[in-house]
Chain A
């Protein structure tokens, strides 16, 4: 402190400007320029200098604190994220990645998804699935190991759900054409004929030969309820292998969360409110390293000539879109492939059976929303979901 008192005050170093400062200097300064002032004025001058110094230190401290605040803010989820979007898998696919991200990572992840689309797509003539369907009833078709594995997984879900999820729904889905330019309510006899060709037990896999065979002509696989989830899992794998620890994969509303938010908290995922404009949420759930997938009546549908809406989740018992009082089902689990398939499965099973399956399946949380605006959650979902839409109420199964 003593040394501070010995420094020259700033008004002496900088020169005197302005009459007020000059007056102050003339009254209080004891430096050489005003050496005629009494010695006992040095204490007053030193005290003033100390205050100036202290104020400067305070100012620097506070500016430093603000800089730290700014740095912290720069780490918030809104900053430092890069998003890339492509049209793939018949929808809009977005990758939002945090940390330091090379463009190569986006390209590699999208290339991986493109590769999956080339194998699994129904609209690409030489995809594995198209070739399997074209060879139905005549001969087995050679496919990649990946396609074989995903079809095996889809058949497991088909068995698990007793056909509520049906990997062989292709003929019925093609007949309805929901999501295409030719969507229409088919004739009942056409539906009946299509249903005869949706028996998933007549899909034969030969792992050793690497082939899939559909035993009856006219059968067709449709992996639309699982391939998008699988592609998200694979994109996440590519991203994680590149060292990215946080991000959001959004494939047409199928969400896969990588890590947690940059502030360490779980991601917040809004669940679409059925019937409301897209982006209006029923509620928000929090999760990290998890897939969040919804299936509902509101996403892909058309309005028939009878004025009724017809959605895309088809019941292979009736041949018509599932009508069981559910408006949507949202599944949270570790794998996007599982979440994708289970959301369709649980929806098709209905509230009671779907809730039972969800509660019995380890690591799966589910949210059921009914047409009469009631929301039912598995026990695990209750801990992570918060209802925000006042038109809906939480309820429990009796």
Chain B
């Protein structure tokens, strides 16, 4: 009597393994992986800059009034100094979540955290 079970050959295993690997890669590509990194987007009047929030960085950004100083520490970004008068941008503290932003309007510098949304995250933020 013939067995009801298919006996897997080497190529079957190879096909299954390869397919599984490709599927995992596509899931990672589409729903996680590199796209899931938190990134800091910085814009001034002349350029747009992007930094990973994972590092430790000091970033000077020029504006019409002078240099706005931005730091990235421990997965969060903040403005530590800016040549504006009331320093509202400095008082905003740290931003780390997607959609969080700080703007120094007098010096025309804008920071925004963005990342691809893991489940539970939002597409936009209302302040």
Contact = CB atoms under 8 A, between A and B. Distances in A.
Contacts of B116: 78
A281 B125 contact: yes
A279 B100 contact: yes
A76 B30 contact: yes
A226 B59 CA distance: 36
Contacts of A179: 88
Contact of A51 (B9, B18, B35): B9
B74 to A, nearest CB: 13
The secondary structure that dominates the A interface is: mixed
Given A62-B23, A63-B22, A73 B86 contact: no
Contacts of A90: 105
A52 interface: yes
Interface in B47-93: 84-86, 88, 92-93
Interface of A: 51-52, 55-56, 58-59, 62-63, 65-66, 69-70, 72-74, 76-78, 85, 87, 90-92, 94, 179-181, 183, 248, 250, 252-255, 257, 261, 267-272, 277-281, 284, 292-294, 296, 299, 302, 330, 388
Q: Give chain B's interface residue range (CB within 8 Å of chain A).
A: 35 or more
A294 B127 contact: yes
Contacts of A255: 124-126
Given A58-B15, A181-B86, A279 B126 contact: no
Interface in B1-57: 9, 11-12, 14-16, 18-19, 22-23, 26-27, 29-31, 35, 43
A280 B11 CA distance: 51
Nearest to A299: B127
A281 B19 contact: no
Contact of B125 (A56, A65, A270): A270
